[in-house]
Amino acid sequence: MIDESNDPGLASWVASAQGSDFPIQNLPLGIFSVGNRRRRPCVAIGDFVLDLVAIADLLDEEWREDLSQPVLNSWLARGQDAQRALRSRLQELLSDERYRDDVEPELIGLTEARMHVPCFIGDYTDFYVGIHHATNVGRQFRPDNPLLPNYKYVPIGYHGRASSVRASGEPVIRPCGQRKAPDAEVPEYGPSRRLDYELELGVWIGTGNELGSPIPVGQADEHIGGYCLLNDWSARDLQAWEYQPLGPFLAKNFLTSISAWIVTPQALAPFRRAMPPRPAGDPEPLPYLQEPEPDRAALAIQLEATLTTEAMRRQGLDPHVLSRGSADASMYWSVAQIVAHHSSNGCNLQPGDLIGTGTLSTAGAEGLGSLLEISRGGKQPVTLASRETRSFLEDGDEITLRAWCEGGGVRIGFGECVGRVAASG
C-alpha cells in the first residue's frame, strides 16, 4: 500500500534525483561493477549508483551478508517487509544532510558503472497475456478465429531458456536455424530473415513456494520481488516452422534482454489501477484466478520502443518511435494471476526466477509491441526518416525499450533495455 516512502514531497540531497527516472521515491536495486572490481549490489539515485557494500555499516547488520553477494537472490528471498525496511533506511540516508558526508563518497556515476543481470536466474517463463498482441498475431494465421478457445480461461505461457538472459547492451547475434518458405518443398538452414523484438515487462520472484504448495492469487503480490523491462527477441521464420506441436524453441531461446534494475512493488504502489473490464460475453476467471482486489490489480506503466539503424546514427537522426502504450491497457491477465497460475499445479517458484508477461500491445496502432504486428507480417514495411524501410530487423539495427510511471510530480523509471543486432557468427 502507499506509505510515506511514496510521498511526492520527499527530496534527496542528490540534486540529479529530482525530476529523473531515479528519484528518491524509486531506488531500484541492481548489481554493478567498475573495472575489475567484484560485482556488488547497488541502488540507482539520479545520475548515480549507490554502492550498498560500501555503506554496509550504515545498514542493518542482519542485511549485510545478503547485500554483499554478487546476485540478489538471497536478498529477494527475504520478502517485501525487508524490501520496505531497506527502502526506508536508504531514503533516510539520501535525504538527511547528516549522512551526506558518509554516503556521498560512495556514489558512482551511472556512466562509469557496468550493470549486470541482477539475479542468478534458475528458471525463466514467458507468458502471453497481451490480448491485443495475441489477437493481432492470431488474425494473421486465423482471420476468422484469432484467439484459441483456451485463451480467455487460462494464462498461456512457455518455459524459456534462463541461460541466455542478458542485461541491456548485450549484442543480439542473429540466430541461425531451420526455416521453410510457404512455397518451398523442404526447409533450409541459415540466418533468420525475420528477426523481431517483443516489448514486455519482466517480473522477478521474491519469496518462493514449496513444491506442491500453490500460491493463492490473493497472496501472489507478496511473492513478487520487483519488475523490469524484457525483450524476448524472436526469429519469426524459425518460429513459424518449428512451433507445432510444442510451441516456441530455438526461435526464442538465443537471447532475452532485460533492463538492469529491479523496480520494487512499493515504488509502484501509487500507480496501481483496475484491470480493464472484460468484454461482454467473456468468461469469468475460474475461482483460483479471481482477483480479491481487482481495482488494484493492474499497473499504469507507460511503455515505449524505438529503433535506430546504422544509417540513422550516421546521419544523426532521432530514433524512430515504433510503439507507445501502457501495460494496464494491454494485459488480459494480471501479474498476480500469472504467478498464481504458474504455481497452481504445485510448481515451486524460487527467488530470482524471472517471468515475462508476453508482448504488450495496445488496441491502437500506436502501441503495437512487435514488428510482426506493425508491418502486418511484413506486408506493410515501416518507412524511416533515413528513407529506409523495415519489415523486420536488419544487422546494425538497435532497439531501445523504456518504461516509466508518472504522477503527482514523480516519475518512476525502469532504465533502458537496449539491443543492437549483429550478423551471424
Residue 49 DSSP SS3: strand
Q: Per-residue DSSP letters for 11-24?
A: --SSGGGTTSSS-T
Q: Per-residue DSSP letters for 271-291?
A: GEEPPPPPPTTPPPPPGGG--
Q: What is the pTM of this model?
A: 0.97
Whole-angstrom distance, CA of residue 198 vs CA of residue 189: 24
CA-closest candidate to residue 266, choices 230, 226, 311, 315: 226
- pLDDT recorded at residue 425: 78
Whole-angstrom distance, CA of residue 397 vs CA of residue 33: 27
- pLDDT recorded at residue 166: 98
- Spot the catalytic one: 132, 133, 341, 342: 133
How close are the terminal C-alpha atoms of the chain, in Å? 49
- pLDDT recorded at residue 141: 82
Catalytic, 341? Answer: no
Grid cell, residue 234, equals 524472436
Domains of the chain: 4-116 (2.30.30.230), 124-422 (3.90.850.10)
CB 102 within 8 A of CB 58: yes
CA-closest candidate to residue 424, choices 255, 306, 309: 255
Beta bridge partners of residue 176, listed in sequence order: 191
- pLDDT recorded at residue 244: 87
CB 255 within 8 A of CB 173: yes
How does pLDDT run along the chain (425 residues), one tens digit per residue?
A: 899 999 999 999 999 999 999 999 999 999 999 998 899 999 999 999 999 999 999 999 999 999 999 999 999 999 999 999 999 999 999 999 999 999 999 999 999 999 999 999 999 999 999 999 999 999 998 888 899 999 999 999 999 999 999 999 999 999 999 999 989 999 999 999 999 999 999 999 999 999 999 999 999 999 999 999 999 999 999 999 998 888 899 999 999 999 999 999 999 999 999 999 999 999 999 999 999 999 999 999 999 999 999 999 999 999 999 999 999 999 999 999 999 999 999 999 999 999 999 999 999 999 999 999 999 999 999 999 999 999 999 999 999 999 999 999 999 999 999 999 999 97
